[in-house]
C-alpha cells in the first residue's frame, strides 16, 4: 500500500491547495483526492513530478510504502 504524504508536506511548506494547483498545473480536485486519501491507488508519474517540482521536493517524498 502507498501512503500519501501530501498533506504533511503542504502543511510544512505552508502552501494552500489553490497555490499548489496554480504552481504545479495540477487540478485542485486531483490534489484534493491525493491529499485527502490515506492511500494512493494510481497516479501518473508526470503528475507526481509536477507536484514535487512545485513543492521543491523529490517525488519519493510525496509518498511512502506502508507495510501490511
pLDDT digits (tens, 9 = 90+) for 13-54: 999 999 999 999 999 998 998 888 766 677 788 999 999 999
| Helix axis angle, 17-24 to 28-36, nearest 10° | 120
pLDDT of res. 13: 95
68: part of which helix (H) or strand (E)? Answer: none
What is the model's pTM? 0.84
Domains present along the chain, CATH in parentheses: 2-61 (1.10.260.40)
Band of pLDDT at residue 68, cut at 50, 70 and 90: low
Amino acid at each position: 500500500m502507498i501512503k500519501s504524504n501530501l498533506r504533511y508536506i503542504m502543511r510544512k511548506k505552508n502552501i494552500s491547495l489553490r497555490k499548489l494547483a496554480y504552481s504545479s498545473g495540477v487540478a485542485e480536485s486531483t490534489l484534493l483526492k491525493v491529499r485527502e486519501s490515506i492511500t494512493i491507488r494510481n497516479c501518473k508519474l508526470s503528475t507526481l513530478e509536477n507536484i514535487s517540482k512545485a513543492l521543491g521536493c523529490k517525488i519519493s517524498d510525496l509518498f511512502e510504502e506502508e507495510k501490511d
